[in-house]
Every structure is written in C-alpha cells, then in structure tokens.
Amino acid sequence: MTPIMRKKAALISVFHKDGLKPIVEQLSALNFDIYSTGGTEKFIRDLGIDVIPVEDLTAYPSILGGRVKTLHPKVFGGILSRRDNEKDLEQLDAYEIPQIDVVIVDLYPFEKTVESGANEQDIIEKIDIGGISLIRAAAKNFKDVLCISARNQYEDFLKVLVAQKGVFTLEQRKIYATKAFAISSHYDTAIYNYLNTTETNFRQSFNKVSPLRYGENPHQKGYFYGDLESLFDKLHGKELSYNNLLDVDAAVNLIGEFKNDKPTFAILKHNNACGLAQRDTLHQAYIDALAGDPTSAFGGVLISNKTIDEATAQEIHKLFCEVVIAPSYDENALNILKGKKNRIILVQKIFFLSKPSYRTALNGVLFQDKNLKTDARSDLKTVSILKPTEKQIEDLLFASKICKHTKSNTIVLAKNKQLCASGTGQTSRVDALNQAIVKAKHFNFDLQNAVMASDAFFPFPDCVEIAQQAGINAVIQPGGSIKDKLSIDYCNSHKISMVFTGTRHFKH
C-alpha cells in the first residue's frame, strides 16, 4: 500500500459548543485535518470550515440513536498509535488510519441532568461512552497526543495553540492528560453515586478547588473542594479562610434548625454558638444573641434566618466580626455592613447541605449519615412527676436544637428562647454544666426557671443536682442510662420536670 502522508489532525466531539469557534478556526488556519460527528460536525461546517465526518473515516454511520459514533479502530488506532513504534506506523499505513494529534471532548452533562430532576432514562442517556473513551485514549497516549477534556480548558488551550502554532511540549500534553483523567474519574464517580443503593464503597470527587490563604494555621496549606457559589452569593469582603469555612459550615447547619421559625440570630465562634436568640424582630434577636457572650462574639461568624434590616445592621456594625450570613439584606443594611472592607458578607441561597458526613481518620475515612434528627414535641417523654409547662417545652426544644450543634460533651442553658450559656467540648458532663453556669453568671443571666439540655444521658444524678441548685427547673436529655432512675428520683424530690427524647446528639 502507498504510505499515508503524516498530516496533523484533530478530532472534536463536544456537547457544549460555546468557546469552540476560535479553536476550530485556528486549527484550520494551521492546516489541521478536523474530524467530527453529529452536532459538532454541523457546528463546524456552519462556520464554513472544512470538516471530515467520522463516518467517512470509519465507513459506518452513527447508529443506535447516536449511542455509537466514534467507537471504531480507525478512530482509536489514530489516537493510540505510538509515533516512535515502527509496527504501529506500519499498521496505520496498512489500514489507512490517520494519526490524530489533538482530541477535544466535552462530555454529556450527566451531573446537571441528575440535578434537573430528569427521569432515570434521560439520565442514563447522558452517560457518555464515546467521549469518555476518547478522553482516556488520548490521555493515555499523552506522549504523542494532546487531550482537551472540558470546555473550561478551551481558553488556555487556544492561547497555547496560537502561541506555539500547533506544536505542544511533552510537559503540556502530560498536564492536559492529568486533567483528563481527573475529569474521567470524577465523571465515573458521579455515575456510581447516582446508581449506588447497596454498595458501601466510598467514592467522592470534587472538580472545583479553591486555594486558601493557609489551613488551620499559617504553616499549613489549605484548599476547599466544592462549589461555594451554589450555596452563597458573596457580596463583599476578603476571601474565606479555612477556619471561616468551618465556622460557616457550623453556622449554616445550626440556623437550618430555625429556618421556618420567627426571627432568629446566631453568633458562632470555633464552630460553637456563643449567642443565639429568637424574638419578634431580628433587631432584638441580634441584641439578645450578642448578650449571650459579647466577649466571644468578637471575630465571630453571624447568621440570620431572616432579611437583615437597617436597624440590625447598625448594631452589627459596632462589632468586629469575620462573616455575616443572611438570606437577604435591605439596601441600607448592606451599605452599612460594607463599611468594613474585610467583612465577608454572604447571601445564603439554599439551606441544603450534603446528607452524608465524612472525615479522615488514621489511614482512612470515617463515613456516616448526617444527623438530620431534630427533637420534636412528639419525641418527648415526660419521666418526672412534674410535667413541663408549654413555655418550658418551647425552651427545651430550643435548647435541644443548639445542643445538637455544639461540641460534646455539652450542656446548654436557655431561657425565654435565648441561649444563656453552654459548656462545650468538655471531658465530663459535670465540667460542661459547671462551665455553662459560671459563664451565664459572668454575663449576668438569671438562671431561675431556665432549662437545661444535654447531648447525652446522665450516668449519675450529679448534673440535675447542680442544675437545680443554680435555679434550673426543666431538663431535656436522651435518657438511656442504667441509672436513669437516680436522676428521675432527684427531679421528683426537687420539683424539676424532665423529658427524655430517646436520641443522643454527640458531636465530635
């Protein structure tokens, strides 16, 4: 057979066409043969640029409703052939297979289709087969082939294409191959997680990454993997730090407990609420939340379940705080809050957060269902002779919500839907309670008729005894200790009402 002339060629098969036009024009100007199929072929042809249908190369039409277009030896042979391997080149000549030097693919939008709520059949049809195969083949042969695997790479690729006139270095091809396998693995992970209902294999992947100034401390590197823009609109301020993000996560989870309630304001520091109150106006809710611990509020993260108005913004502006989060802001309020150039102002667009929870541990990952259980009236079982009043029930459920989102061991003291104090992250429940009482008294809270919430059961009656001596007369806890009766007996002999929920809320 007559040897085929070695002319540069590109294969283009993309879902999204935006940004493709200047690349195609440049490839044509550099005398690349351009192969394509389906909608991409039509797009290129409509630009007035010569394009070779893949069907002409393979002598097979697109079949099975478009499911099979590029899956053919004449396509993959041209991509996978090794340019320094004589036998490979001989086979290219023997079977009249052109070398393909550039592969440009933009995969079917599988994740977007899932997010749209489409039916299963439509979702399955958006599992790309040919595209993902082209990506893997081109990336594998990065020694000879450059692979563009997503439209967000178009702009950078065009600059390289123009500057280097279609000649690419090995380093560049390897970098793009790395990106391609990242795209491929992420795509497969999304499909696995969509289909999986029975397997326990851990698969998570994030395409978006944001470098942070540093990690938890200045000597540690830090990155955030995820799509913050889907949750927040950032209106003002510096970039979120690693510690900011941890506090924002805690704040969003906490305020989610009150999303449909009356105006509620929370102030957090080191992932724990140091102030929280619910009132008829947001302004008063903020004032009373700040009263919970004005010292810890310095440099904290503030979050509201309602629109921040001008009066509330004026009060907030008096405090140095890192982040303010709300579903919206009045125009005057926003102008006030922007008065501090570094203050981060976020609009929370949705309350949704991922349901699974996972973290690194030792040489692996701990995975669990997210704690989505919120104690409700229907969960309460009165175990004392004295039943809680309606007002006490409201305060007990209020305190329980805060307790659920506070580091264990924890005790939360509340009164009139205001956080009086909490003991956080203590090695004993008694220590947590004593810490809360001391703190409440330090900030001049009257604990007479306050309520107490505990994240776990009391193994001994010491906590209810200490609480009663401080003036607390209603308790909410999970129950479940073999010595529950000791605490119940103390409550009965000292006219304290106590309810069990049956649900522990450890948070570590």
Predicted local confidence at residue 2, as pLDDT: 47
Helix (H) or strand (E) holding 124: helix 120-125
E-strand spans in 39-120? 52-53, 102-106
Predicted local confidence at residue 132, as pLDDT: 93
Mean pLDDT over 192-202 rounds to 86
CA distance linking residue 324 with residue 333, whole number of Å: 12
Asked if pLDDT for residue 316 goes beyond 90, the answer is yes
The pairing of strands 264-269 and 272-278 is antiparallel
Cβ atoms of 322 and 300 within 8 Å: the answer is: yes
* Max mean pLDDT range (92-96, 114-118, 325-329): 325-329
CA angle 497, 498, 500 (to 5 degrees): 155
**Confidence class of residue 201 from pLDDT cuts 50, 70 and 90?**
confident
**Confidence class of residue 1 from pLDDT cuts 50, 70 and 90?**
very low
pLDDT digits (tens, 9 = 90+) for 258-304: 999 999 999 999 999 999 999 999 999 999 999 999 999 999 999 99
Predicted local confidence at residue 352, as pLDDT: 67
* Region of residue 469 (phi > 0: left; psi between -120 and 50: alpha; otherwise: beta): alpha
Active site residue 140: yes
**Model pTM?**
0.85
Asked if pLDDT for residue 149 goes beyond 60, the answer is yes
Asked if pLDDT for residue 3 goes beyond 70, the answer is no
pLDDT digits (tens, 9 = 90+) for 479-504: 999 999 999 999 999 999 999 999 99
**What is the SS3 string spanning 408-443?**
CCCEEEECCCEEEEEECCCCCHHHHHHHHHHHHHHC
126-130, 183-187, 309-313, 404-408: segment of lowest average pLDDT: 126-130
Predicted local confidence at residue 69, as pLDDT: 74
CA distance linking residue 271 with residue 251, whole number of Å: 7
**Confidence class of residue 345 from pLDDT cuts 50, 70 and 90?**
very high
Joined together, the tokens standing for residue 508 give 């570590």
Active site residue 270: yes
Joined together, the tokens standing for residue 296 give 């810890």
Sheet holding 146-148, edge to edge: 52-53, 33-36, 9-14, 102-106, 146-148
Asked if pLDDT for residue 58 goes beyond 90, the answer is no
Mean pLDDT over 435-461 rounds to 97
- Catalytic annotation, pick one of 8, 17, 270, 340: 270
CA angle 180, 363, 219 (to 5 degrees): 80
- Catalytic annotation, pick one of 8, 140, 234, 262: 140
Predicted local confidence at residue 5, as pLDDT: 54
